[in-house]
A = this chain, B = another copy of it.
């Protein structure tokens, strides 16, 4: 680690440690002359303050923990990228953790973060009640917690996400408008958001007087390997196809399922959009490179990241007792980007 300490500088300059500290921190109490001398000496000897000592004294680390399900989805990667940029802009660093959509990993990650000492935590929980007790305890006793992305969670704190019901409704409506009414909903099993996205789907069908068919809802186990997910998708799709219900559209409620679906359909020689239209949640940057260019429900990740981070910083810097604060839930607008996969002429 760094070699010369503040004490050492004090000795060498025949000044006291406190004077050095103040000089380096530009205190008004110190004369310009002394400041100049001290700073120059520090620079020459490549002084780097020991952050740990500072943090111990100040009681904060300037680190915030970010706990995401899995960085390997473009959506999560975008979130992390923007969170990082916002954090840096505010002189905070990000300690990154992923839960891999497993409650046990999530618990471990949370323990690590608190034992490690972070000033606050941003989390997209595995599901609607995962580690609720632990997270509540951390929020009360350790450091503030802000929820993002997966915000349907019974914790009294700031939450930033999207209106899942509404955006799924709108996407479903797009399909209906191009006269595709036999719509499959592709869902992640045991995922918090599934419930709400399905509700939007149901509501749209109802409003357009389209009968619900439970066989049209496909659940895929999400915590498996990608290969297994492909297999399950293939099975479900071909079963559906053979059963004679002849769906003509699919709405994918998660990014992974939506993007993998395209590969599965290609290998089954099912044509998109001719045989079946596809729209789905995804923030993938190369939607145009997919087969075919994918119509997506796009989430405003940059805004989600900066808003969530700002709210967390507010909590970190707030003097108020955490029970005195009135917490907000912010729902951001999504946008629907139509491309070839729903282009029905």
- Interface residues of chain A, those whose CB is within 8 Å of chain B, are 1-3, 46, 48-53, 55-56, 59, 61-63, 70-72, 74, 77-78, 80-81, 84, 88, 93-98, 108-109, 112, 114-117, 141-143, 226, 230, 259-263, 266-267, 285-286, 288-293
Contacts and interface: CB of A to CB of B under 8 A. Distances in A.
Given A84-B97, A262-B286, A263-B289, 7 more contacts: A51-B117, A63-B116, A71-B84, A88-B108, A289-B290, A290-B291, A291-B291
Contacts of A70: 81
A52 B293 CA distance: 50
Nearest to A83: B96
Contacts of A290: 289-291
A84 B61 contact: no
A52 B288 contact: no
Contact of A72 (B63, B78, B292): B78
A71 B83 CA distance: 11
Contacts of A48: 114-115, 142
B289 A292 contact: no
Quick one: copies of this chain in the complex?
Answer: 2
A71 B81 contact: yes
B84 A98 contact: yes
A322 to B, nearest CB: 13
B1 A59 contact: yes
Contact of A46 (B50, B53, B141): B141
A181 to B, nearest CB: 25
Contact of A141 (B3, B80, B81, B230): B3
Contacts of A261: 289
Given A53-B56, A81-B72, A259 B143 contact: no
A233 to B, nearest CB: 11
Contacts of A84: 71, 96-98
Given A72-B285, A259-B289, A1 B142 contact: yes
A52 B55 CA distance: 7
A293 B259 CA distance: 13
Contacts of A50: 56, 117
A114 B52 CA distance: 11
Given A1-B142, A262-B289, A71 B71 contact: yes
Interface centre among A49, A259, A261 (most CB of B within 10 A): A259
A300 to B, nearest CB: 16
Interface centre among A97, A263, A291 (most CB of B within 10 A): A291
A116 B51 contact: yes
A95 B93 contact: yes
Contacts of A72: 74, 77-78, 81, 285
